[in-house]
Structure 1
């Protein structure tokens, strides 16, 4: 038997964007139905797994860190990174809005819910050969994305207007309803039971397409990233399948720029996979050497993380085998390695400052044991010969040779041995620059040799492309209204969060300054709720 329901506003998707929209609408006393396809324990979506970085310019925390930002500099950096095209009208409008409103509408709003930021602003996406983030802007949630989602879920459950919220998990939205040319609700299934829900307004908050690797490969930007990779890991979730993108298209809505994605070049197979091709993204050490599939150092321009993620993906995707190796030693792993995500970072996730300080001073031994003991793409050895054999066992074949490893490691170590006066390797120059900022100095070794007998064993990690976030999506105006193929709002339909490319179908252009995703979900959701008022 099917169920027929009715509400004032229906939200399709219970991630951070959907939750924020519901909260804002409850504040207005509106009657809301929030539908989430996953079970209740996964309410909050991919934000539950996020490390929790947000990009802001002009905050008090920046000023406390001696960082003097300005809207003009922020905008220059954003546009330079985005490389907007002539048709990117709404992405530009959304970018300008983000720059103007991200502090009051996101940063302060999050603080107002009792969630705080780690006191040091991090400096990510600095740029390889030109500035991207000219200044540190990456504000990390103290408690990670998990703490934020659970805080907002509690705010929903304890809201003074909780009686106006109908929260339904396990409800998959399959299609829209229409009435006289207006989107008038949704239909779908709750398990085996079909349902229809009529509503005065419908908000799509269903996330991106990047959990659907088949879809990702279909829209893959070959010109930038090379051919669609055979080796591709899923760093999102299979629920992020892009189904409602297709439904929006069928109703004449515009879905644009799906080839613009925020992927990572540092994916490894998850040691405890929850679904096929489940991957983790590393935040790799700056002191590790990037090698190709044969074990030769990639160059002459070395690959180093934290400067331009888009370019790292581009370079790895255009490698012959579309994967590479990070080679380092145990000391480097302990001091510099991090894994992106909430649960994998218990010190941040549990807001355990004592544990975090201990990890910074003594190294993250628990993470090292996880990588070395459980990850199928990680091998350890005491000599290059042994390491090459183990690398070949992981990848299959015999491409990696000890001679190739020594040809890359030897000259690098020799420069370190000669001392900073004679450093002529760009990776060493960048390490010197990184250590000038205190946010990086604490987690970056001072010119660590790879073949250092006191730092063994050697560690090699096979890394490959990992699908993560959609930067294109459903085109929206500044009220988060979905636009049709003529550029006019589709009556009754809104889109927020990742499904809208975090605003306008692509607020970040081809390249994010990083940290624009959680915050973009909140910004678009709050603007939709205001428009619905």
Structure 2
């Protein structure tokens, strides 16, 4: 019989939460084993591909920009926007912990690790009625989240003195070992050889991500009272399938809470070079684009505009007759506003090319627009609306779009400008003007103008689908990241961090995120787990 692999700490998952847990444990003198299902080059999980935005409170950058923020203000925004139940103890406790410690345990800690932020704070998720972020809090990691992962992995190896770290790539954890109610190890399968491997450790940390990588799991948990699209894209990863969540629930009495709450994105399209079947890219929708249904009619009466309430956008998109929508815009809008979330398509930020970043910010991101025009068949371009309508129908193999309807949609919007700049009365134009009042957002948002403005073309239509991304629910944990059983007692030896724990407590964000709460949530829960383990709690 093969001898089990032994260490002080066993971690399931090599994403950001698992890496930070391992780093803190190594620095405290513990031996650590990480079991990760993915390949070595993808070590870092979804954080390796993420954009790197973080919601941080009362930072030096906010103060330099004269943004008056505080944990009290942030908590009020968080509880209101997320609609958290005040009696839901651990999610509320984690929300409070986040706002009170994001400055010291995330911002300052990362600064000490060499991470820098871009010199502006963006204002996202403002709420349709001002019920979201009451002030700008969205800090962007310089180098994207890929730089964050690089720094953390480098620190991990630097802390690995005396060979106290073992990483087992391409291993799938299938079960936990436990005796007398105490977790003491795990079983995994080496997916290259099919061999079963046993691991021993007095502490096991679940850091395997959420459940949204499995559409079957996603649909099973989807709230019945909310519309669900017939088809969706996958912006997570198939390995995030929820199987270990269910194993812990079925065999150890762990609680999975708020599994139906998800942070999906309303406007995605298939990755031109997919990493896995159904892989979707999430766009940052252009505020100035008209959001249309499958017939080319503007969705309303309240227009769909990004930056205010992503949760509501997803419900409106899911409620459409067909499982896709269209963004209608022109090249002028695309150059200034079109963006794709993530490290892969933000090369200037990812590669720290500040002069080129400024050039594209001021003159337009021609490389990205041209790239999508060449690579994606869902990014359609034509000099006329009639020609665009034909291409839209060809893509969907339908006759849904009538050219006259598309023309009427554009004409109705453009009529807002026929009597001058002060006499238009359109909710989308009002929202755009509100967004442009904040300097950093003004740089990425066009001044309102007719869609058919001479010289602004050609016209562009982007075929969009709802794209699954993050699980807001997960295994219930206390403030030490210990997994709780049905009676509210910690399961001895078992911890859970990051998305697997719903970013703390099994659902700290409630129904909505203020955006940028996920990377910090991974860091906060991971550091809490490591503290508890190293102190022997």
Per the normalisation by structure 1, the TM-score is: 0.98
Alignment correspondent of 2:77: 77
Alignment correspondent of 2:225: 223
- SS of the residue 1:328 aligns to: strand
Structure 1 residues 295-304 or 376-385, which shifts more?
Answer: 376-385
Alignment correspondent of 1:65: 65
Matched, 1:106 2:75: no
Q: How does 1:253-268 map to 2 (within 5 A)?
A: 253-268=254-269
Deviations 1:469-524 (A, max 9, x none): 00000000010000011111111100000000000000000000000101100000
2: CA distance between counterparts of 1:188 and 1:448?
58
Matched, 1:201 2:213: no
Deviations 1:140-194 (A, max 9, x none): 0000010000110011111263622122212211100012221111011123111
Deviations 1:228-283 (A, max 9, x none): x2220000111111111111111211011111000000111111111111100000
Matched, 1:428 2:425: no
Q: How does 1:431-510 map to 2 (within 5 A)?
A: 431-510=432-511
Q: Tell whether the 8 Å contact from 1:269 to 1:376 is kept in structure 2 after alignment.
A: no
The alignment yields a C-alpha RMSD, in angstroms, of: 1.2
2: CA distance between counterparts of 1:20 and 1:70?
26
- SS of the residue 1:327 aligns to: strand
Matched, 1:213 2:215: yes
2: CA distance between counterparts of 1:86 and 1:149?
34
- SS of the residue 2:388 aligns to: helix
2: CA distance between counterparts of 1:432 and 1:471?
31
Alignment correspondent of 1:169: 169
Aligned-pair CA distance for 1:86: 5.4
Q: How does 1:64-463 map to 2 (within 5 A)?
A: 64-85=64-85, 87-159=87-159, 161=161, 163-191=163-191, 192-224=194-226, 226-227=227-228, 229-250=229-250, 251-463=252-464
Alignment correspondent of 1:7: 7
Spell out structure 1 runs of 4+ moving beyond 4 A. none
2: CA distance between counterparts of 1:84 and 1:257?
11
- SS of the residue 1:195 aligns to: strand
2: CA distance between counterparts of 1:370 and 1:29?
48
Q: Tell whether the 8 Å contact from 1:423 to 1:429 is kept in structure 2 after alignment.
A: no
2: CA distance between counterparts of 1:272 and 1:2?
41
- SS of the residue 1:506 aligns to: coil
- How many residues matched? 531
Q: Tell whether the 8 Å contact from 1:248 to 1:255 is kept in structure 2 after alignment.
A: no
Matched, 1:529 2:536: no
1: CA distance between counterparts of 2:77 and 2:54?
16
Aligned-pair CA distance for 1:286: 0.9
Aligned-pair CA distance for 1:2: 4.5
Per the normalisation by structure 2, the TM-score is: 0.97
Q: Which runs of 5+ in 1 are unaligned?
A: none
2: CA distance between counterparts of 1:117 and 1:139?
6
Deviations 1:282-317 (A, max 9, x none): 001111000111100111211001110000001111
Deviations 1:96-125 (A, max 9, x none): 010111110111111111010001001000
1: CA distance between counterparts of 2:264 and 2:515?
11
2: CA distance between counterparts of 1:30 and 1:351?
35
1: CA distance between counterparts of 2:408 and 2:80?
36
2: CA distance between counterparts of 1:269 and 1:176?
36
2: CA distance between counterparts of 1:10 and 1:526?
15
Aligned-pair CA distance for 1:376: 2.2
Q: 1:119 to 1:34 in 2, by over 3 A?
A: same
1: CA distance between counterparts of 2:301 and 2:38?
47
Alignment correspondent of 2:46: 46
Q: Tell whether the 8 Å contact from 2:86 to 2:92 is kept in structure 1 after alignment.
A: no
- SS of the residue 1:127 aligns to: coil
Q: Tell whether the 8 Å contact from 1:258 to 1:473 is kept in structure 2 after alignment.
A: yes
Q: 1:172 to 1:457 in 2, by over 3 A?
A: same
Deviations 1:48-77 (A, max 9, x none): 010000001111110111101122211110
